[in-house]
Structures are given as structure tokens and as C-alpha cells.
Structure 1
Amino acid sequence: MTDVYSSEKRSAVMRQVKGRDTAPELKVRRALTALGARYRLHRADLPGKPDIVLPGRRLALFVHGCFWHGHDCARGARVPKQNRDYWVGKVERNRARDAKNREALAGLGWRVETIWECELKDAAGLEERLRALLATPHSSSSGQPQVDPGDPS
């Protein structure tokens, strides 16, 4: 089946796909706020500019769309029939970039977690996971929690 849109219209639709302040990201941010967590957004000084950063906990959260980042759920496993080679390559490049960013952040002493779009359907499960992440302090080799010296909070 061919695309229901013309090439120009499809290009316009794809240009509207956002990389920040997405609906899934906003849902996670609302949940964190409800739990009383303080966070920063898209810190450019960190590898991969994590979607949400909790500096006092040295926790970086990425909120990934299942399709765009190749999650193993039904939505992430779906590959468009049109231009298949492009999309397979695109998702693989995204996954390679994600792995590189996770490794770089871990090397800097950050805990890195990914929250998948499909996980947001279960609000209670999301809250439980976020509570667990917030309850686990990041500690340095001295046993004292690390605080990011560049963070104003």
C-alpha cells in the first residue's frame, strides 16, 4: 500500500515530530513533580542531553518512543513497508547513539534509565518505578551521596 499523503505532505508531517517536550516526556515529568522530585531538563553539558536529569541523585532519564528507538514491544518492532531500508538503518543508528550516550554517562558516574513510551500506559507501574528510582541514592566510593557542583539547586 502506498502512503496516503503526497511526498510534500509526508515531509511536512515528519517535520512536526518533536524531539523534546513530547507527550510521553510530559507525562513522566508530571509524575516526578507529583512525587516531589526536583529535576532539570535537557542538560546540554551531559552526553546525549538526557530528557530529565536529577542532579542530586546523579540520575539521567531518557524517555524513548518505542518506534524511534527500536523497543522490543509491538510498536517498536513494527517496520514501515515503504522505504524499509531507510527506517531499519535509522532505528539502528538511534540505538547505537543511545548506547554510546548511556556508556558515556555511566563513565561520568551517572545512573542512566530509559523509560519507554509503552510503559506509560500503566500509571501505577510508572509511579512505582519512579519511586524506586528516587529511593535509590547514588553514592560515591566514599559512601556519601554525590552532588553535582554545577547544579544550582
Structure 2
Amino acid sequence: MSKIRGQNTKPEKLLKKALWHAGVRYKTPKHKLPGKPDISLKKYKLVIFVDGTFWHGYDWENRREAIKSNREFWIAKIERNMERDMEINAYYKSKSWTVLRFWDFEVKEELGTILNRVLAHFDEYKLF
């Protein structure tokens, strides 16, 4: 597991590059924000997460059955990740922040749509 990238994955880089070209100046948090968001805009109280499908439990009901080796470990780990995601969302919402979460495959396949959703956040609040 030590070889698995936890940050600066291809989908994250794609989204960051698209945001930058759209004129959105973001931060990649160097200090520890809860949940370690991939992109943060403190000024606008916005955090963005790009979640991996395996690690964060995309289509969990079906994928759970596909795990063959070390089932107990992986099921517990992924379910805890899913719980933690909900806790982090609740934390930011309690602080009046907006949380946007995207699946890695969505960023790869629908980058324009994802970018529009982020930009719509600025339009909605007349922030940008």
C-alpha cells in the first residue's frame, strides 16, 4: 500500500489544471485541513475532494462482493473511509463551508461538467 499515491493523482491534476485555466486560483493545502482536501479556496469557504472509486467505496454494494482476498480487512477499511468522508462533510458544513466531492472517473470522463459544477458555485454566490 505504500506505493499507492494519495495525492497529486492524474484526476486531481486534470481538475487543478482546468480550474487554473478557468481563472480559479486555488490552494493545494500545505497545512492540515481536516480530511486533507485536494483543493481549497479558504476565501470562498470551498473544499474539493477527488475520491478514488476503490478507496472511497463507489458502488459499494456491488464492489464489496468482488473483494476476494483479505476481505475482512478491506471491507472494514473502505467502510471506515466512507464513514470518515461523511464526518468530514459534516465538519465543513458545520463551519459553513461548501464541500464538493467528485469520483476520479468522473473527472477523467466528464471534466467539462465537473468544471461547470465548480464554477456554478461561484456564480450561485456571486463570489468569483
- Once the two structures are superposed, residues 9-65 of structure 1 have per-residue CA deviations (whole angstroms, 9 ceiling, x without a partner) of xxxxx2111111111111110111111001111353432121100122211111100
> Matched residues in 2 for 1:71 and 1:42: separation?
25
What runs of 5+ residues in structure 2 fail to find an aligned partner? Answer: none
Match of 2:103 among 111, 116, 127: 116
Output the amino acid matched with 2:31: A
TM-score by length of 1: 0.72
Q: Which residue of structure 2 lines up, in the alignment, with residue 129 of structure 1?
A: 117
Alpha-carbon offset, residue 73 of structure 1: 7.8
Q: Which residue of structure 2 lines up, in the alignment, with residue 44 of structure 1?
A: 31
Matches within 5 A, 1:44-123: 44-72=31-59, 77=63, 79-120=66-107, 121-123=109-111
Q: Does 1:20 align with 2:18?
A: no
Alpha-carbon offset, residue 113 of structure 1: 1.0
> SS at the partner of 1:15?
coil
Output the amino acid matched with 1:80: I
> SS at the partner of 1:68?
coil
Indicate if the aligned counterparts of 1:66 and 1:73 stay in contact, CA closer than 8 A.
no
Measured on the aligned residues, the alpha-carbon RMSD in Å equals 2.3
Output the amino acid matched with 1:112: V
> Matched residues in 1 for 2:104 and 2:32: separation?
25
> SS at the partner of 2:20?
helix
> SS at the partner of 1:114?
strand
> Matched residues in 2 for 1:16 and 1:93: separation?
21
Output the amino acid matched with 2:17: R
Q: Which residue of structure 1 lines up, in the alignment, with residue 21 of structure 2?
A: 34
Larger Rg: 1
Alpha-carbon offset, residue 107 of structure 1: 1.1
TM-score by length of 2: 0.85
Aligned length: 125
What runs of 5+ residues in structure 1 fail to find an aligned partner? Answer: 1-13, 139-144, 146-153
